Each structure stands twice: as structure tokens, then as C-alpha cells.
Amino acid sequence: MTIALKRVYETAEDTDGYRVLVDRLWPRGISKVKAKLDLWLKEIGPTTELRKWFGHDPAKFDEFADKYRKELDGNTEAVDKLVAICREQPKVTLLYGAKDPEHNQAVVLKDYLVSRLS
């Protein structure tokens, strides 16, 4: 089982495996056809309040990650659904819209899932 990260704006590839968009909001300027999603699990994204507070500011990332993990701890239905998918699929690609590949919720979510799956 592999969990990968990819920006939703990048070209979908067969090697992506099961593609899950993990943003609460639909990414601007991309059609549902072009996104080639298997699932949009918007309820697993950070709450609107947390997302707005973070504002993709790298200086706030560590605190954002802590707060988001706490939200995930309380979001058992969505987390359990994604954990089950990760167990069923040989590869899952978490898709996100953020421009920064190192400071976004998908990075935190991947680490969270890996810890839950091990």
C-alpha cells in the first residue's frame, strides 16, 4: 500500500492509483472531468476556520498541523473511510489544490494516515 501526494492541477496518470481530492473546496479552474477523481472526500479537509486562519503561511504550518490532527482525531467517519480505502487499494493519491507542496493539509493527512495504518 502506497500513499502519494499530487497537486490536482497536475495531469492524471494511470500510476496515480485511486485518486482522492482532500480539499474542502473545489479547486478553481479545473473541471470534474479533468480532475479524474475516484472520490472527493471534502469532509476530511480542515474546517473553514482553520483553513482561513492558516492562509497557507509556512510560518504557521507546525501549529496548523497540530490543530488539523486534532480535527482529524474528532472526524472518525471520514478518517475511517479513507483508512479503509488505503487498505483496499494498492496505491492512493491524495490530491490537493495548494501551490506549496510542503505546507498543505495533504502533507499532514498523509502522515496521519501512515501512523493509523502502521
Task: Give pLDDT, residue 75.
Answer: 97
Contact assessment for residue 18 and residue 91, using Cβ atoms and an 8 Å cutoff? yes
Quick one: which of 5, 8, 6 has its CA closest to 31?
8
Quick one: which of 28, 23, 77, 73 has its CA closest to 46?
23
**pLDDT average, residue stretch 2-15:** 96
- Per residue in 81-117, pLDDT (tens digit) is 999 999 999 999 999 999 999 999 999 999 999 999 9
Task: Give pLDDT, residue 82.
Answer: 98
**Parallel, antiparallel, or unpaired: how do β-strands 2-7 and 91-96 relate?**
parallel
- Per residue in 35-77, pLDDT (tens digit) is 999 999 999 999 999 999 999 999 999 999 999 999 999 999 9
Task: Give pLDDT, residue 67.
Answer: 98
Report how far residue 110's alpha carbon sits from residue 21's, in angstroms, rounded to the nearest whole number: 12
Which SS3 state, helix, strand or coil, does residue 40 take?
A: strand
Task: Give pLDDT, residue 1.
Answer: 84
